[in-house]
Structures are given as C-alpha cells and as structure tokens.
Structure 1
Amino acid sequence: MLLLIKNADVYAPEPGGRCDLLIGGGKILLMEPDIRIPRKHCEVVDARNFKAVPGFIDGHVHIMGGGGEGGFATRTPDLPLTDAIFGGVTTVVGCLGTDGYTRNMAGLLAKAKGLEEEGLSTFVYSGSYGLPLRTLMPSLEEDLLFIDKVIGAGEVALSDHRSSQPTFEAFAQVVAMARRGGMLSGKAGIVNVHLGDGARGLDFLRRILAETELAATQMWPTHINRNPRLFEEGIAYAKGGGFVDFTTSTLPSYLEDGEIPCAKALRRMLEAGVDPGQITFTSDGQGSLPDWDPSGRLQEISVGRVTSLFPAVRQAVMEEGIALETALRMVTANPARILKLRAKGRLAVGMDADLVLLDPRDLEIRTVVAKGRLLMKGGRLLAKGMFQ
C-alpha cells in the first residue's frame, strides 16, 4: 500500500516549506503540494502540525553488544529494534569494539541482517579494535568487494590502553586496504577510528596525510569530544579537511572529567570556522561506557544508547542556538555523504523513504518511517523486534 504524508513542514534537511510526500516501494515517489490519491489506495498520515526530517543515521553502533572490560558479566546486550525506533534511527552501521573474540564478524553480520529484516537499513565495518584485522574473507578488500553490508573497517583503536598498540605502518596499511577496497567496490572504504585519552591523539591520522598519498576522506575518527585536548586537535584536523565525530552517549563522570557535550562541541567548532559538513554525531550505542581510575582500574561501567543521538541534536538547536537544518546534518546528510550511502540522509524524490516527524514545539519524535514502513505513529509504537 502507498503511504501519503500530508502537509508536512519539510526539512530535507534544508527547509523546503509545506509539502506532501508520496511513498511506495520503500522510496519517495513524489514531493509536491496537495498530492491527491484515493484513500482506498493509500494510508494517510496528517503531518500538518509537524516537521518532516530525514531518518537518522547512526554510524557507530555495537549492534550485537560490546564491552567486556570488567569480565564476562560486563558484556553489553545487543541492540533492540525499539531503541532505534524511539531514537528515530532508521539506518545503523554496526561495529565490533574491544571484544573481537567472543563477538565476531559472522555474528555482527547476522545481527545486521536480523535488524534489516525487522525494518532498519544496516551496514557494518569489518574488524574490531585490534590490528591485524579479523575479517570475514581473507582480506578487507574482499570483504568490501563481496559482502554487500561491509562499507569500511573498524572501529580501530588508537591512543588507548585497550588498543593493540599498532605501529604507524600497520595502521597505514589498513587505510590503504580500505582505499583499494572502496575504489574497487564503489563503497566508502572508510576506517572508523576509535580515539582514546592517550597523549598521541590524532598523531597517526596527521602522519597519514603528511607521509602518504592517502586522503583524509578514508578516515573517520570518533570520540573527538572526549577531552579538551583532543577536541582542540579535532578543530585543527577538521579545518584541514578531515572528518570529526562526536559521541552522544556519556556518563556524568565523563563530563566531570572534561568531556564536551555534543551540542556545545558543535557550537564551538562552528564558531572556530569548521565547515559543518565535516562534523557528525554517533551514539556508540550498546557499547560499554567504562570509567577508569588514574591507575587503570575499572570503577563503573554502563552502556551507550542510540536514543542519545537525537537529543544531542535537539540540544544544539534549543540550547545552543544552532539552526535546525545545520544540526540535522550531523545525523543525516553528513554521515550519508561520508559513508557513500547514496539513497540516505535526504528527503527527495527517488531517495529511500526514511523520515521522522517532529513536534515543532519541543522537537520530540512523534512518527518514524523506515524504508516506507510506519514503525511509530503519533508516539505509538507499531513494530517490535522478534523477541521483544
């Protein structure tokens, strides 16, 4: 059945004015005022009092769980479909983290396929924190070429006591493999880079640009807002053409130790002259949030949530005074461009029918459509995962 969204105030993410959207076959078929279709042929959603925005892309989610830094009991749970729906997240990119052993690429790919069957669009990175990469096929290039859902590598950990402490040469080889595999497959071939609190910060990424022929577009460093020093490095890196990603899941202790909330980090980078197209938000959903004391002992551990993603966008608009169309780019058009998800991140004819209706008074999520299917309508959940 066709789906007709009537009278929405469209942000594509740029403001587009009042418009109807006709959806069929998982795509946006028409976008124009006053589309008329006999009601017997379509379901109609009255969006007269709502803003229609693209469905959110979360480019860093531990969809099958992560963690384990405190032993087996601290392995975090996998992503339930309803968390994504409540968060307005219609596309997720799954990754492995510290634990690339009890969690592996076969399980990651299976979980991604399961979430796809339940209604989301899903992709994955090949590998985990450590190098050499543990891939599904003999090489990263072959994963990119022959496994549709693989769009890059990661999250490779640098400047962190949990990393495999790779040499610069080993890291450069991964970026080179991602470049080759991306070119041959027509994919992004991005390397998602976890950055810890270590003093080396972005050093390896800067050396890639200075000492090799590889471009900044092959690397996507995350957790840039985790401390003031790394954040200042991130400003310079982004002004030089690199991408930077802020993590929306946090703990009070992280903020007390100097982590910069995403909304404030966005405002500060924009004020510093960073191109807004270089910045993204991701949630680190289902990843562990460990709090270490100065001697490296684990004090507490929690779990990241995809439901933290859009609240950071809302705070940027409502507390930091950033235009809605700019803040939306952090979770729509920007990650779609960086990850070469060509049918995602925008509301336009021919694009995938992923959209969210927001209440203009408080920017709360009210309705979620993924691949043309209503998953939530007027705040009422219409879909759940198989075992929820």
Structure 2
Amino acid sequence: MLTLLKNATLHAPEPRGLCHLLISDGRIAAIAPADDGSALPAQGPAVTVKDLEGRRVIPGLVDPLVHFIGGGGEGGFGTRTPELNLEEALASGVTTLVGALGTDALTRTPASLLGKARELAAGGLTTYCYTGSYQLPPVTLTGSVAGDITFIPEFIGLGEVAISDHRGSQPSREELTRLAAETRTAGMLAGKSGIVFIHTGDAEGGLEPLREVARHSALPLAQFLPTHVNRTAALFEDGLRFAREGGRIDFTTSTTPELLADGEVPAARAVAQALAARIEPSRITLSSDANASLPRFDADGRFIGLRPGRLGSLFDTLAVCVEQHGVSLEKAIGAASTHAADALGLTRKGRLQVGQDADLLVLADGAWAIDEVWAMGQRVYLA
C-alpha cells in the first residue's frame, strides 16, 4: 500500500512550499511540487490519498533525553517520577526518543529501560537507549559499555554521565577518557554514533572536564553531547565557548518556575541567544528531559523539592522560539529534530527527504498545535 499526502506546506526543515508526499514501506518514496504530479503514481485502489489542504508539515521531533521509566528519588522513594505513558508520547510530536537512566541506577536498571523502549516501539515510535547512568563505573546489560553498544540494537551510546554535579561520581579525567574511547570504538564497530551523553550540573567547573579529555587525548569534543547547558547563566556562557571550540550543546526544555527564578535560561531564549552569538546552528540541540526529576537543592546540597519533566515541552519550545524570539521555523526544527538526529547518528531521522523515515507532524491551520502525528509512515495520533 502507498500513502499520498497531498497539498502539504512542507518544512523539511527548509521551506519547500506546497508539496505532495508519497509514503511507501515506512519511508518517503517521492516528493513533488503540488503543481507537478508527474513523479507520483496514478491514484487507484493501492494508493491511500489524504489531502492536507495546505497545512504545515514538519519532521517528527527527535528527543535525545527521555527517562522512559521515570527518574528522581533524590527526596526518597516518595519522590520517584512515573514512567512515560504511550498515549502522552504519541500526542507529543516526538517520534524518535532516546531513553536514559539518571541518578537512580539501583532500583531502575538497563534491562527495564530496554523493556520500556521496546514497549514504546511496539506502539509505533522509534526508540533507542544509552547504557550507563550518572555514576561510574557504568551499569550495563552485557557486562561492558562496548558489549551493550555492539550487541544490543537499541543502545547507541553512553549516558547520562554526570559531571560538575554532587550526585555524580566525580569522575577523573582518566575515567572519562577511557569510557569515551570505549564508547567511540564500540560505536564504530556497530555502525552507531557512540555518543557520550553528559548530564552537566551547576557546580563550579561546568564543561571543563570535557575540555580536559579533549586536551589530553585524541577524542574530539563532539564525541560528547552535554545537556542542561541552559541551567544557569554561567553554564550557558560556558556552553557558548564549548560550541565555538567544536563541541555540541543541548538545552533542556522542561523547567519549573523555581528553576527559572534560580537563574535558568529558558530553552527558547537560549536557542535565540546562541544563534545571535553566531554559534553554528548544527551544534545546538534541544531535549525534554521528560519524566526526569527537576530537583532543587539548597546551598548545602539538601533536597528542597522536585517536579517531573514533560515530553510535550519540546514541541512547545518550538512555538516560543518562532513566535516570541524570531527564530526561523527551519532553525527551530533543526534544534528539535535535525541536529539531534545528526549528533546521534540517526541518518534516516530529522529530515523530510526521499529515502528518509516518514516521521512527520501535521500542524493545525493557523495555530501552533498538532493535528496529526505520523511515525514510520503510519498515523499514530489524530487530535
């Protein structure tokens, strides 16, 4: 069966005007201008046709940090956050998700993370995972980081390893270097990115541990993807320097009034300011940190409280980027989809081009809202 989506105002992420899209076997088989259907098949019983009537179509979002099985626990068992719900995920606009453990790698495990990834995949989404957690040595399924990445299809890298945070293991430069090298090599052997996804806390030092690895080894800064770089103004400025030096930076879209009052830079503003500072757009990504805990601690590191991250914050941030900060839709989509796909080595994600996976969002007419979500060529959500 073929599916023909007619009259889509296509942002791929670059604007391509009014187009028809032909979907076959979960991928985009053809794209043609709406006034030229010569590249498309004749309509017949084998072709399902849907007229989008000029509505905007953008790539499905790619989220490099989702806590599938919840997070939290910094305030005791009563503060554990819940697992991600499939229905919520389908409505969020995120069609590719990468799952991680966080602070808790004792009551939550790589096995349960992988099981949840496969549950979400059975519901129509594309899911991957990081092996490891905040702490070192990393928890794994096969006994090693290299084994997990090499032998388990869903595991694409190591994360979420904590630096500059009192909840981490305070890893040495040598520990980070060895693990990053192991992850990189395993990624090459398995045809994966071998990315090392980094949780960055707000302690003094910021991203300096990653620079130290690069200075004293052959590993590039781009082997790391540090997140929460907008958590404080000082860390944001450090992140801009990191990006100018050749690294990538990830801004967290989930937040709370308390974190903003403490000095967090809102993610949409962070994107706009980074672009205004002439940071190469491909070095900027967004993630939701969905279902993680967003905790607060006092000056002595004592727990004050937390709220959970929200998957829908990624799509919401796109609207703020475009409508309040003047970021072009193309660059906003890049931060929320294209650049993350590139950083994670997901070559068929993040763009609407021939041969790419047919993951797309149909936006409402005249409003920033999702009418439909298509994942791997199937409609999985209808508003």
Q: Same fold (TM over 0.5)?
A: yes
The one-letter code matched in structure 1 to 2:287 is T
Query: Within 1, Cα distance between the matches of 2:170 and 2:297?
Result: 19
Query: Within 2, Cα distance between the matches of 1:181 and 1:351?
Result: 25
SS in 1 for 2:19: strand
Partner of 1:208: 213
**Aligned counterparts, 1:217-236, within 5 A:** 217-236=222-241
Instruction: Return structure 1 stretches of 4+ with deviation > 6 angstroms.
Output: none
Query: Within 1, Cα distance between the matches of 2:178 and 2:65?
Result: 22
Query: Within 2, Cα distance between the matches of 1:133 and 1:299?
Result: 28
Give yes or no for the alignment of 1:86 onto 2:63.
no
Alpha carbons of structure 1 residues 332 and 129: separation in structure 2 relative to 1, 3 Å: same
Partner of 2:198: 193
Partner of 2:17: 17
Give yes or no for the alignment of 1:363 onto 2:376.
no
* Structure 1 position 296, deviation (Å): 2.2
* Structure 1 position 188, deviation (Å): 0.4
Contact 2:358 2:376 in 1 (8 A): yes
SS in 1 for 2:45: helix
SS in 2 for 1:184: helix
- Give TM-score scaled by structure 1 length: 0.95
Give yes or no for the alignment of 1:284 onto 2:289.
yes
The one-letter code matched in structure 2 to 1:82 is E
Residues 199-237 of structure 1 deviation map (CA, whole Å, 9 limit, x = unaligned): 011111111121111011210000000001100000000
Residues 156-198 of structure 1 deviation map (CA, whole Å, 9 limit, x = unaligned): 0011111111212111111111111111111100000000110
Measured on the aligned residues, the alpha-carbon RMSD in Å equals: 1.2
Structure 1 residue runs without a partner (length 5+) = 380-388
Residues 246-305 of structure 1 deviation map (CA, whole Å, 9 limit, x = unaligned): 000001010011100111111111111100110000000010111222232222211001
Q: Residue 165 of structure 1 is aligned with which of 165, 170, 177?
A: 170
Contact 2:269 2:325 in 1 (8 A): yes
Contact 2:18 2:54 in 1 (8 A): no
Q: Residue 243 of structure 1 is aligned with which of 235, 242, 248?
A: 248
Alpha carbons of structure 1 residues 48 and 181: separation in structure 2 relative to 1, 3 Å: same
Contact 1:3 1:42 in 2 (8 A): yes
- Of stretches 341-350 and 355-364 in structure 1, the one that deviates more from structure 2 is 355-364
Contact 1:98 1:129 in 2 (8 A): yes
SS in 2 for 1:331: helix
Query: Within 2, Cα distance between the matches of 1:358 and 1:350?
Result: 22
The one-letter code matched in structure 2 to 1:284 is D
Contact 1:77 1:286 in 2 (8 A): yes
Contact 1:178 1:218 in 2 (8 A): no
Q: Residue 269 of structure 2 is aligned with which of 264, 271, 279?
A: 264
- Of stretches 101-110 and 40-49 in structure 1, the one that deviates more from structure 2 is 40-49
* Structure 1 position 39, deviation (Å): 5.2
Residues 317-363 of structure 1 deviation map (CA, whole Å, 9 limit, x = unaligned): 00000110011001111011110101111101111110001135232
Instruction: Report how many aligned residue pairs link the two structures.
Output: 378
Q: Residue 353 of structure 1 is aligned with which of 334, 339, 358?
A: 358
Give yes or no for the alignment of 1:26 onto 2:31.
no
Contact 1:65 1:79 in 2 (8 A): yes
SS in 1 for 2:325: coil
The one-letter code matched in structure 2 to 1:282 is S
Structure 2 residue runs without a partner (length 5+) = none
Alpha carbons of structure 1 residues 205 and 7: separation in structure 2 relative to 1, 3 Å: same
Query: Within 2, Cα distance between the matches of 1:13 and 1:360?
Result: 18
* Structure 1 position 29, deviation (Å): 1.3
Query: Within 2, Cα distance between the matches of 1:370 and 1:37?
Result: 24
> Identity of aligned pairs, percent?
46
Query: Within 1, Cα distance between the matches of 2:209 and 2:261?
Result: 28
Query: Within 2, Cα distance between the matches of 1:321 and 1:72?
Result: 43
* Structure 1 position 38, deviation (Å): 3.1
Partner of 2:347: 342
Partner of 2:120: 115
The one-letter code matched in structure 2 to 1:2 is L
Partner of 1:143: 148
Give yes or no for the alignment of 1:328 onto 2:333.
yes
Partner of 2:306: 301
Query: Within 1, Cα distance between the matches of 2:293 and 2:327?
Result: 30
Query: Within 2, Cα distance between the matches of 1:16 and 1:158?
Result: 41
Contact 1:225 1:261 in 2 (8 A): yes
SS in 1 for 2:235: helix
Query: Within 1, Cα distance between the matches of 2:352 and 2:43?
Result: 23
The one-letter code matched in structure 1 to 2:7 is N
Partner of 1:50: 55
Contact 1:49 1:359 in 2 (8 A): no
* Structure 1 position 43, deviation (Å): 3.0
